[in-house]
Structure 1
């Protein structure tokens, strides 16, 4: 084999190895939650809230801020990584249109960097225990139901797969989540009173629309100090990019309701918060653009690059084989010329 064939074959072997490394080493390293992840998704909508200033002033006519325009910012930031585990800060802030903060919550989770499910919390991380998905969706989502952690009730709910829709030209899987139960989020529960005077409770109820007020018979036996408990109800819908797992859009309707125990069981009294929002256009557009860019990069590293390297390697091997065959073939023209010369020099 000539030196050229050796060079071609060696180069082809290097390209095959590079293809394998790109697909099975570089691609998995790239296709996971980056260690420097920082993202914010903004929702817009309305909220009905207790008016703390009016309550302090005893003005029950203004006890509720009704259908106030709000924005809800959810900020996700990776604080640390340990192999397949990412420690993630989940920071949510509800603000009025003037930027005034109305409520906020903060959680820390330990999640798998690829399928986003729970992972054992690294020592000292402060990550809360949870089950299933909590901040986002797997990087390779499936058309099926998922287990999803509800922070309000601290229980597992089902994210039901509802079909496929288009979001700004991207194929998206649609999931619905409904959760309801006793409020268990400590950061929210700590800010709520465990009891209120009977007069205050009746004043708040009187400020509600008639159709939202509890039955008067249920209120007849209220004690002077009314013990309170709270329920959390959350309805979500998520549009998840089918190729990358990025959340393209979402809706959220979350209600915290105060109640007490009556003679015949729990009595719903008044809403503490009622937030109804959906993804802001700017955030939806940015997520779709990010999904397009990410999808192209993943295709290049996971499919296009390795396949291209293999194609070039096969071409080089073909050239090497062709070169070897040409080297092995005798030069028939030279042999024929030699025969003719011998025949001419032979005596008659």
Structure 2
């Protein structure tokens, strides 16, 4: 009786192991396979830029109006402030530091924690309407998928072009390129640029313009209002290496131009870039991104593959041991005959 009781305990333990394996694989893993609610990273880009020197412009110091080879730093703070089911409010706070000035441009997006595209359903307060990827690709990105990227400078969504696969800091990555061009729509950047300039100042800047622009401008400058209104075009180019497992950026290059335009007889004439930057993630940021991806993917693999498999094997072994321990059922005893022996 004791053997049969212990075999039942072992069988029950095997069933529990198998149930726990199923719980991990089909309940816990899906809840972990999405944007974490505690995301908080600070990637840094460094490079150089060509910029409009506002002080020289105001002083009429024409030869020094354009400053070239200026060191540029871009600090990004990417974090999740709240989650609601499969929706997260993700922040991408960008600060451009150049020539002793800091230009912050902060953005908040409601994103689907699984697809990493814009969240659907009820709109979130305080977030920027968008469509496309913003801070990362989804888990296990598909090279054949037609991902799209949201460019905050122009507030447009453009294709992400898959290039090839590779390796960065020991992590397998998928390489993409992005190019967005359109009217500058980021108020933080636009607020640092002059909406108009006195006609005399624009005239004095003409010799600094490319020859073809000078020719196009011709005598039209005299017909323009004073001050001369400006509009701006943003051109953004990104080379992105996304982790093949997590979809997070491991390496990236970011270049951006802000081009000043004037309206000449109803035709938009590009004059010159007033800002042109060329930056890349620092080595430390790349190393940090790779280390974080390695740690997270190892944990995900442990929870999604190794732990369920070990529990499943233990469960099967326990079931087998329990049934073997029970042994064959005892044979039924022959019935006792109570017939009386006849007296002779």
TM-score by length of 1: 0.87
1:238-258 Cα shifts (integer Å, max 9, x gaps): 000101112100011111100
Contact 1:227 1:260 (8 Å CA) reproduced: yes
Q: How does 1:1-348 map to 2 (within 5 A)?
A: 2-96=4-98, 100-120=100-120, 125-144=125-144, 145-207=146-208, 210=210, 214-222=213-221, 223=224, 224-263=226-265, 265-325=267-327, 327-328=328-329
Tell me how far apart the structure 1 counterparts of residues 168 and 257 of structure 2 sit (CA, whole Å). Answer: 27
| Deviation of the 1:134 alpha carbon | 1.4
In structure 2, how many angstroms separate the alpha carbons of the residues matched to 1:323 and 1:284? Answer: 56
Between the aligned partners of 1:203 and 1:102, the Cα distance in structure 2 is: 29
C-alpha distance in 1 between matches for 2:187 and 2:121? 19
Hey, which bits of structure 1, 4+ residues long, moved more than 4 A?
Answer: 120-124
Is the Cα contact below 8 Å between 1:204 and 1:270 reproduced in 2? no
User: What's the offset of the Cα at 1:17?
Assistant: 1.1
Aligned equivalents of 1:116 and 1:183: distance in 2?
Answer: 25
Match of 1:35, SS state, is coil
Find the aligned partners of 1:311 and 1:184 in 2 and give their Cα distance.
57
Secondary structure in structure 1 of the residue aligned to 2:13? helix
Q: Aligned-pair RMSD on alpha carbons?
A: 2.0
Secondary structure of the equivalent of 1:328? coil
Whether the 8 Å contact between 1:63 and 1:207 is mirrored in structure 2 is no
Cα distance between partner residues in 2 of 1:219 and 1:299: 65
- Post-superposition Cα deviations, 1:137-163, rounded to whole Å, max 9, x if no partner, equal 112211133111111221110001111
What's the offset of the Cα at 1:45?
A: 0.8
Q: 1 CA distance for matches of 2:205 and 2:20?
A: 69
Distance 1:318 1:3, change over 3 A: same
Contact 2:7 2:323 in 1 (8 A): yes
Range with greater deviation from structure 2 (31-40 or 185-194): 185-194
Kindly indicate whether the alpha-carbon contact (under 8 Å) linking 2:207 and 2:214 is maintained by their aligned counterparts in 1.
Answer: no
CA contact (8 A) 1:115 1:140 kept: no
- With over 3 angstroms needed to count, the CA separation of the structure-2 counterparts of 1:80 and 1:95, relative to structure 1, is same
After TM superposition, the structure 1 stretch with the greater mean CA deviation from structure 2, 2-11 or 100-109, is 100-109
Aligned CA distance change for structure 1 residues 264 and 124 (closer, same or farther; 3 Å): closer
Deviation at 1:175, TM superposition (A): 0.7
Provide structure 1 residue ranges, at least 5 long, that are not aligned to the other structure: 331-348
CA distance in 2, matches of 1:205, 1:311: 78
Residue 289 to residue 281, structure 1, CA distance change in 2 (3 Å) = same
Maintained 8 Å contact 2:139/2:246: yes
